[in-house]
A and B are shown apart, each in its own frame.
Chain A
């Protein structure tokens, strides 16, 4: 009964109610679309981190991450790799030699991180092979092929088939170098990554450094869904019997993890600020509603509507008003976000800046259903808060005085 009366009361003044509904809808739409934009942006960055740069899980010997000591390798890496491959939802495992070194061309030199990989294995773990913009993925060059990033190629001023000298420290701590030829140039749109990461064949770098055959500095693991991360992580730890350093991408890139969590928090803060601004408009409207209906409210109390029901009726009106606007805003925001999932927002005007930070210039929005639920709850809370003072004013009505009004 109260819901029915409250709903109908909203439409007594259509224009006024529609203004509020439109305001709330616009505010919520802005919040939802902004949330989807930033979530899409963050998700794309995470995709890059997990699919291109780091993979989902990495295994190292304890201390390797901090010192990058060439001699600190996992001696039974092949055995671990085979066991990890059998875990459900794992779609790729690769062994890597990982060395900090110097790459030099005829013109200049640059510090790089060399990853010695098994190219076919690596395709199941990272998508570098699909990021090539020139040349081939370890094809076309038979001896010591190397795949380098676009930014590094520009810095060293090299092209496909150009020679670069890679200088490294071998197992005996001797400085050694090898000539490599550029087989392919990739671009991930992350300038930092492109400038500092090069890929060579595991066997080539193994020969150069006398690295043991079944060992590796790093085992990288790719999985089918981030939702399975915790389970797989746990199983990998079991396999390594907790003797190795097993880390997820969240630990390997804590700033990325922080960004994801912080992004959610910022979006809710943004939406709360919007709702607080709308709150005063709704309070004003509800105060007008109560004042206009002083006589009616007095009559309702006279014929037996108790204060609790009067209060509830006012609160319900406010909630229904806010919720109507909220639902409209959510629907439009959700539809727009869904559209943005396949039609990216073009930020290429600022592409250089974004790529410097590792972000894409074309952003696909990503709708989070949880956010829609939470926003709905926030809208309801706003409606309730907005009604408290007007409802209190309504209860202050004396039925006798109210009924005397003309």
Chain B
């Protein structure tokens, strides 16, 4: 079943001197449970592609349907709500809220959703244990290593039970051990919960785990390959 359907996705940046087509008419679908790496050199358009997919950057042309909903036809308020309930984000520099503990960072999105305290606390505990840092629930990000912070970020992304998770260079700031741990974790989450993961990455280690690799160059899909990883 297609979770995401993309048709003719285009992003054009107009400046006074030059017109840049960052993304140029991309058609692609993503199914439930896919573990996909979107790769390409710097400036290829992969981050812009992910931003449009995630409802952060409005496309110049084309549409993005998630669960059958054309997100770019939603009002700005409804789009924010849609992101909150359907899309999880894992960022390159973790982007945890520094004044909240690990547990509070995970709970935060559930508070935005209006979940009860009991439900929030229970799910937070489960998620942090699932990502392997259940004992650091009361630690602030400044007290956690990069790898641990990124695990919290994954738990936060999972908290709202999203349709899919977008991860933009999630391993860029991690050492090799932390990267392996994180990828192992995401892979487990993908298998256990059937959550779709879409990465924008340069990292070969991510590509080695991905079961689908979409290569983008000059804003177009150069290749779209599936791999059997077990």
Contacts and interface: CB of A to CB of B under 8 A. Distances in A.
Interface of A: 1, 5, 8-9, 11-12, 295-296, 299-307, 309, 398-400, 403-404, 406
A302 B98 contact: no
B57 A306 contact: no
Interface of B: 47, 51, 54, 56-57, 76-77, 80-81, 83-85, 89, 91, 93, 95, 97-100, 108-109, 111-113, 156, 160, 168
B85 A5 contact: no
B108 A301 contact: no
- Give the dominant DSSP class at A's interface: helix
A399 B91 contact: no
Contact of A296 (B51, B97, B111): B97
Nearest to B86: A304
B160 A5 contact: no
Contact of B91 (A12, A299, A305): A299
Contacts of B97: 5, 296, 300
Contacts of B84: 303-305
Contacts of B80: 301, 304-307
Contact of B100 (A5, A295, A309, A404): A5
Contacts of B57: 398, 400
B108 A1 contact: yes
A5 B99 CA distance: 7
Contacts of B77: 306-307
Nearest to A5: B99
A304 B98 contact: no
A99 to B, nearest CB: 78
Nearest to B94: A299
Contact of A302 (B83, B93, B99, B108): B83
Contacts of B100: 5, 8
Contacts of A398: 57
A210 to B, nearest CB: 88
A1 B104 CA distance: 10
A305 B105 CA distance: 13
Contacts of A302: 54, 56, 83, 89
A299 B111 CA distance: 16
A8 B109 contact: no
A304 B111 contact: no
5 contacts: A9-B99, A303-B89, A303-B109, A403-B95, A406-B93
A303 B159 CA distance: 11
B80 to A, nearest CB: 5
A304 B109 contact: yes
Nearest to A308: B77
A11 B112 CA distance: 23
B154 to A, nearest CB: 13
Nearest to A7: B99
Contacts of A296: 95, 97-98
Given A8-B99, A296-B95, 19 more contacts: A1-B108, A5-B99, A8-B100, A299-B89, A302-B56, A303-B83, A303-B89, A303-B108, A303-B156, A304-B83, A305-B80, A305-B112, A306-B77, A307-B77, A400-B56, A403-B51, A403-B56, A403-B91, A404-B47
B192 to A, nearest CB: 22
A306 B83 CA distance: 10
B111 A1 contact: yes
A388 B109 CA distance: 25
A5 B81 CA distance: 20
A304 B56 contact: no
B63 to A, nearest CB: 18
Contacts of B160: 304
A297 to B, nearest CB: 11
A10 to B, nearest CB: 9
Contacts of A301: 80
B95 A295 contact: yes
A301 B80 CA distance: 7
| Residue among B85, B93, B95 facing the most chain A CB atoms (10 A cut-off) | B95
B98 A12 contact: yes
Contacts of A5: 97, 99-100
| Residue among A300, A304, A307, A399 facing the most chain B CB atoms (10 A cut-off) | A304
